[in-house]
Amino acid sequence: MKGRGPNKGGARHHENNRIYAHPLPLTFSDPSSNRTRPILGLLGLSRSQVINPHCEGYYDASTRSVWVVNQRDSEILWRRGFFGKGNLSRSEPSWFVRQVKDRQIRRVGSNASKMTSEELREKRRADRKQFKLDRAAAIAKVAAEAETIFETEGRVVVPALFGPQIPSGATWKPKTDESEPATDGNSDETEAIVKNTPDIEEALEDMEHLQLTLQEAFFLTWNFDCITILNPDTDEPLSLKDIWTSFQQVFLAPSTSISLTPVLEFDNPFLVHYAAYHHYRSLGWVVKTGLKFCVDYLLYKRGPVFTHAEFAIVVCPVYEDPQDQESSATNIQNASPFTWSWLSTINRANSQVMKTLVLAYVTIPAQCRLSKEILNSPACFAHYSVREVIVRRFIPARMRD
């Protein structure tokens, strides 16, 4: 089978490498000249400066997320690490781009030069549907020709299901259009479209915001201090201690106690899932939600625009002291042994989409050896550990030597 040409999708990959060049919101600049740079390197010095974007977001307890409403901040957080998702989009915030393109098509009658991820998905689905129709029509045509030969010549011809007359996945090609997408960038496209039709931006308001999970928001706040989380009622920034307490308290059951002091526990779902999230992010993986595939997280090498996720993560809490689980009122998910049928179903669903299922066991420290006062700060994560177990299906037809 012939491999892909060297320029297959080269323009799109080159553009993606340019747009998503930074793996984290923080960037570095080196103001040193070419002459002084080698000298500073010999001395072990560097004048590189850290550039912090200082984004802002609003904490929303009802959805357990942080909303980034500023378009600049949303673009930075998505393009530098693929943090969050558009609340009106599949992943990348592209609702405004789609609306602008639709209005341009209706007013001007021309199509945009690029496609969003949602449009690419719909195009692939339409191509698969058209391929099935074309293949069925070709098979019906061959069968009709065989029937005609039998009626006229009396020869029996077995209709072929494969061959040059029957399109296959390798030979069939969709009808191409000159407006095929060249890149996945949306901001540059929006500017070009609005520039050509300036009245579109005035009539259309961007209703979409970037929605960060609590794990993503705390990772950006605690480790890089590149996002300020605001109180939606007062617009005042929350301190790290307030964020730490609020993110845990949102998972607690309503209490009838009149005490205003929240009761923090070692098995709080936020702590357990953040321990797994931080573990994989610190190893260089891009971690996204895996709700679509019935898992907790998906791991990407570089990001969703480059390749599909390779690993599907299921977070499995494990109590260091079994007595803590019996006395706990949290009832955290996957803490109890799951059934074999459940594991087989999850594994099969992810194997069919070429993802390796990983069970990430997060050990919850025992209350008998630690005081709950340690839960007042993120220093408690030093007592959590993560271990992985890979689960694979044995398929005899595919795993022979």
Residue 24's CB: how many other CB atoms inside 10 A? 14
Contact 288, 225 (CB under 8 A): no
Which of 54, 132, 308, 372 is catalytic? The answer is 308
Mode of pairing for the β-strands spanning 27-29 and 49-51: antiparallel
Instruction: Please report how many Cα atoms fall inside a 13 Å half-sphere around the Cα of residue 247, on the Cβ side.
Output: 32
Task: Dig out the tokens for 374 from the structure.
Answer: 């340690």
Catalytic residue, chosen from 59, 297, 355, 384, is: 355
Catalytic annotation, pick one of 300, 361, 372, 384: 300
β-pairing verdict for 356-364 and 385-391: antiparallel
Strand order in the sheet with 227-230: 85-86, 210-213, 65-68, 55-60, 227-230
Interatomic CA distance for residues 320 and 267, integer angstroms:
11
Give CA 91 to chain center in angstroms. 7
Beta strands at 311-319 and 356-364: parallel, antiparallel or unpaired: parallel
- Say whether 319 is catalytic: no
Query: Is 308 marked active-site?
Result: yes
Task: Count CA atoms closer than 13 A to 122's CA, side-chain side.
Answer: 7
Q: Tell me if 74 sits within 8 A of 247, measured CB to CB.
A: no
Q: How far apart are CA 25 and CA 42, in angstroms?
A: 29
The answer to whether the beta carbons of residues 118 and 58 sit under 8 Å apart is: no
Name the one residue in this structure whose structure tokens are 């996204």. Answer: 288
3-state SS class at 49? strand
Which parts of 290-394 are beta strand (E)? 297-300, 311-319, 356-364, 385-391
3-state SS, residue 48: coil
Structure tokens at 28: 């570095």
Asked about 301 being catalytic, the answer comes back as: no
Q: Which of 107, 288, 160, 265 lies closest to 215 in space, CA to CA?
A: 288
DSSP result, 68-115 = E--HHHHHHHHHTT--SEETTSSSS--HHHHHHHHHHHHHH----S--
List active site positions.
300, 308, 355
